[in-house]
A and B are shown apart, each in its own frame.
Chain A
Amino acid sequence: MTYKTLRWLAVLPALILVLAVQAHEPSEHMEEAEKPKCSEMKDMDHAEMDMDDPVMQAMMKKCKQHMDKKDADSKESEHRHSESDDDATRKSQHDH
């Protein structure tokens, strides 16, 4: 048996082993990864949420991006609403 054949015999099982290990890497599952349905959290009773509970903490971590964006949007909406109220007041005063 030649040296080249022996080398292949050693490399091939190692290659198969490496591929088998990679198949179970979390990154392998990311391509078709399901997204968390964070909108479901808004229906939960916030008064009953125990923030010391690891389940609740994990859900908050998972949905942080969603919640932050929602908070930012609601603040922006409030800001726009108050600006339009100011404009309406100013316009009304000007008309009088």
Chain B
Amino acid sequence: MTAPRFLPCIKCLIAALVIAIAAALAFIYSGLYPVGADDHHTPLTYWALETLRERSVDRASSGIEVPADLDRSERLLAGGADYNDMCAGCHLKPGKDESDFTLGLNPAPPNLTQPHQGEEDLESRAQHRFWVIKHGIKASGMPAWGPNHDDERIWSMVAFLRRLPELSPEQYQVLTARGSAEAPHH
């Protein structure tokens, strides 16, 4: 009885796999990979990371039910104050073009005061944003706010994000201030 002809080929594949794993481990342990945030990725790495992120969030957020009352003024007030405390440092506020975080983080956090460039509809964008705020994104500087913030609070932030690009600095200040209005002085 003769051995099947593909057997030597399987041995070659296993050997190639072992060599590849050994080379990857050697690279990891060598310390040669630059991890500094000021050392930018290659365009190919950016493409791979962004595609991985977008596809993962699209899949994970597709079943989320979006509340029908996202345009309520109460949501804007609740979400605005939270956005100002938790997000504005990285994602900016009207009238600001950069911060220490936008200059130092890699990848740079998106400027959410600018109109959204993607092609997805309002519903998908709301699902996407809710999921990202709740779960965060690994190794990107975006934390998961879900452990300490309930869904209603996160939806209010999503509601605020919808209107953020239209706000003037003065409107932003009024909507995001947590304190109550002072009576006019004489």
Contacts and interface: CB of A to CB of B under 8 A. Distances in A.
B175 A58 contact: yes
Interface size class of B (residues with CB under 8 A): 20 to 34
B173 A29 contact: no
B77 A61 contact: yes
B149 to A, nearest CB: 6
A32 to B, nearest CB: 9
A62 B77 contact: yes
A59 B171 contact: yes
12 contacts: A30-B179, A35-B177, A36-B173, A38-B182, A39-B184, A40-B173, A41-B174, A54-B163, A55-B171, A61-B73, A63-B174, A73-B186
Contacts of A30: 178-179
A66 B182 CA distance: 6
A34 B178 contact: yes
A96 B20 CA distance: 113
A20 B182 CA distance: 31
B174 A38 contact: yes
Given A34-B179, A54-B163, 16 more contacts: A23-B148, A24-B148, A30-B179, A37-B170, A37-B174, A39-B184, A40-B173, A41-B170, A54-B72, A54-B76, A55-B163, A58-B73, A58-B76, A58-B77, A61-B73, A62-B181
Contacts of A23: 148
Interface of A: 20-21, 23-24, 26, 29-30, 33-41, 54-55, 57-59, 61-66, 69-70, 73
The interface residues of chain A, by DSSP majority, are classed as helix
A33 B85 CA distance: 10
B177 A69 contact: no
A62 B184 contact: no
A65 B177 CA distance: 14
A59 B181 CA distance: 11
A23 B181 CA distance: 24
B175 A55 contact: yes
Contact of A35 (B85, B170, B180): B180
Nearest to B174: A36
A29 B181 contact: no
B184 A66 contact: yes
Contact of A26 (B173, B178, B183): B178
B167 interface: yes
Contacts of B71: 54
Given A29-B81, A54-B73, A54-B163, A65 B149 contact: no
A23 B76 CA distance: 22
